[in-house]
């Protein structure tokens, strides 16, 4: 009956006392973490409830990884501006070999950021709506070095 009992301690005080003892026992300090267990439970629970599902987070992370390569990012930017383009055009635009561009375009497609459609002997690529949103978020004027 510590929390709210006859000692007049609330749960936050008890948690801080526990964290202090834990910290002193470990003898390890760190500049990038709290020395106390200072959980703001209502705030933390509200934010936690709004987090996307693990599957959504995995999909977002896959999209972000797909754009982490400079060649793939250049291809995605070219597709954003061109709307649709074949591998030949994309290779010329980004100044890379067609086989390399084809490989990276397939990776953008696998990540759900682009789609392709065969048009006769050409394969035309375009960004998906998700790809457009992610490229728009990553490639902003504020993000430029």
**pLDDT tens, position by position, 15-31:** 666 666 665 555 555 67
102 neighbors 114 (Cβ within 8 angstroms): no
Q: Which residue has the higher pLDDT, 115 or 60?
A: 115
Check whether residue 132 and residue 115 sit in a common domain: yes
pLDDT at 51 over 90: yes
pLDDT band of 34, cuts 50, 70, 90? confident
- Quick check: 3 pLDDT over 50? no
Domain that holds residue 23: 11-50
Contacts of 131 (CB under 8 A, 6+ apart): 63, 76, 79, 108, 112, 113, 114
| Co-location of 60 and 88 in the same domain | yes
Residue 128 within any structural domain of the chain:
yes
User: In total, how many domains does the chain have?
Assistant: 2
The average confidence (pLDDT) of the chain is 84
Q: Which of 57, 52, 101 is nearest to 79 (CA)?
A: 101
Hey, how many other C-beta atoms are within 10 angstroms of the C-beta on 78?
19
**Phi and psi at residue 96, in whole multiples of 5°?**
-125, 165
Q: Is residue 4 part of a domain?
A: no
pLDDT at 110 over 90: yes
């Amino acid at each position: 009956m510590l929390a709210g009992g006859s000692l007049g301690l609330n749960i936050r005080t008890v948690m801080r006392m526990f964290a202090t003892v834990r910290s002193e026992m470990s003898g390890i300090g760190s500049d990038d973490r709290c020395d106390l267990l200072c959980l703001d439970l209502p705030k933390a629970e509200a934010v936690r409830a709004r987090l996307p599902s693990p599957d959504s987070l995995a999909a977002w992370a896959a999209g972000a990884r797909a754009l982490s390569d400079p060649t793939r990012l250049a291809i995605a930017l070219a597709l954003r501006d061109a709307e649709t383009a074949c591998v030949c055009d994309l290779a010329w635009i980004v100044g890379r070999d067609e086989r390399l561009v084809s490989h990276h375009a397939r990776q953008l497609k696998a990540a759900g950021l682009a789609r392709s459609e065969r048009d006769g002997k050409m394969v035309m690529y375009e960004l998906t709506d998700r790809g457009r949103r992610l490229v728009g978020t990553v490639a902003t004027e504020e993000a430029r070095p």
